[in-house]
Copies of this chain bind each other. A is one copy, B any other.
């Protein structure tokens, strides 16, 4: 299945992007989406979000314990963007200058559970700090990310920070990806497709260029189809689906294919399923995901790529 090529000049520029940075905005999107409008996001913000749970323990290879593992994967695998906190970017970025970085702006730890208090996550950095870092280092920072907990008792704080961030990002020619998670004591079911669709629609209203949602679930209904409501609600904001917790490559890649080809997602955001592997396997999984996302590969081809039986790379 061929993916339509999105020419640089065909990228729609939102009304709040200043004319003088419109080309930067287009180039950043074009670069991250590999000229397709689709997005393979390698998620590496869990060192705060999940502390060391995702990086150390039974079944996790030892090399994942070192933060540099993430950068090695991002550098050697085929990805769209590598999303992580500015602190990590500043520490390792100069040694991995070819990676497209998406700076994850807010993060919280998971020690305080939702049943104790609704989630609350504040911006760690300003767009100005992101831009200064890019200027000082020449790194390919193409966008920013932000988590919004819809339905939290603190959603007003995150809505306000997110909308400000989206505006400031576009003003600088960057794009934004919002992690849209319904969560809080008033949220009965975080996987409810209808509520997830509401969260996706919220992302558009806040000015996000992409939104990341969890893969909806309702009884035994086909999840790819359940995703469609959210994709529709997101409108011109590209929806990408979270990779979720560890799964077999077969199941993971099938889910991915469904999300895109059944559900209408424009891509995915995967963290643990990638980095909780040896560097070789992680890189191959990136390639496989990108093959599905950017090159329309089917699951069989993706599995061959993951197994190392077929090489995959994208130009440029």
A233 to chain B: which residues have CB within 8 Å? Answer: 47, 52, 55-56, 65, 67
Q: A204 to B89, Cβ gap below 8 A?
A: no
Instruction: Indicate if A9 sits at the interface (CB-CB under 8 A).
Output: no
A275 to chain B: which residues have CB within 8 Å? Answer: none
A194 to chain B: which residues have CB within 8 Å? Answer: 51-53, 56-57
A86 to chain B: which residues have CB within 8 Å? Answer: 16, 163, 167, 207
Name the residue in A15, A139, A152 with the highest tally of chain B Cβ atoms < 10 Å from its Cβ.
A15
Instruction: Indicate if A199 sits at the interface (CB-CB under 8 A).
Output: yes
A199 to chain B: which residues have CB within 8 Å? Answer: 51
A87 to chain B: which residues have CB within 8 Å? Answer: 163, 166, 203-208
A99-130 contact mask (Cβ, 8 Å, vs B): 1 or 0: 00000000111011100110011111100010
A124 to chain B: which residues have CB within 8 Å? Answer: 159-160, 163-164, 206
Q: B155 to A205, Cβ gap below 8 A?
A: no
A184 to chain B: which residues have CB within 8 Å? Answer: 111-112
Q: B235 to A122, Cβ gap below 8 A?
A: no
Partner of A229, one of B48, B56, B89, B185: B56
CA distance A83 to B197 in the complex (A): 21
Question: Contacts A163-B87, A232-B66 known; A155 to B47 CB distance under 8 Å?
Answer: no
A88 to chain B: which residues have CB within 8 Å? Answer: 204-205
Instruction: Indicate if A156 sits at the interface (CB-CB under 8 A).
Output: yes
30 A-B pairs with CB atoms under 8 Å apart are: A14-B91, A15-B91, A15-B94, A17-B136, A47-B205, A48-B202, A51-B150, A51-B194, A51-B197, A51-B198, A51-B201, A52-B198, A56-B197, A56-B232, A65-B233, A66-B235, A86-B167, A87-B205, A88-B204, A109-B155, A109-B198, A111-B182, A111-B186, A111-B195, A112-B151, A113-B186, A122-B156, A122-B159, A122-B160, A124-B160
A interface list, Cβ under 8 A from B: 12-19, 45, 47-48, 50-53, 55-57, 65-68, 84-94, 107-109, 111-113, 116-117, 120-125, 129, 132-133, 136-137, 139, 150-153, 155-157, 159-160, 163-164, 166-167, 170-171, 182, 184-187, 194-195, 197-199, 201-208, 229, 232-233, 235-237
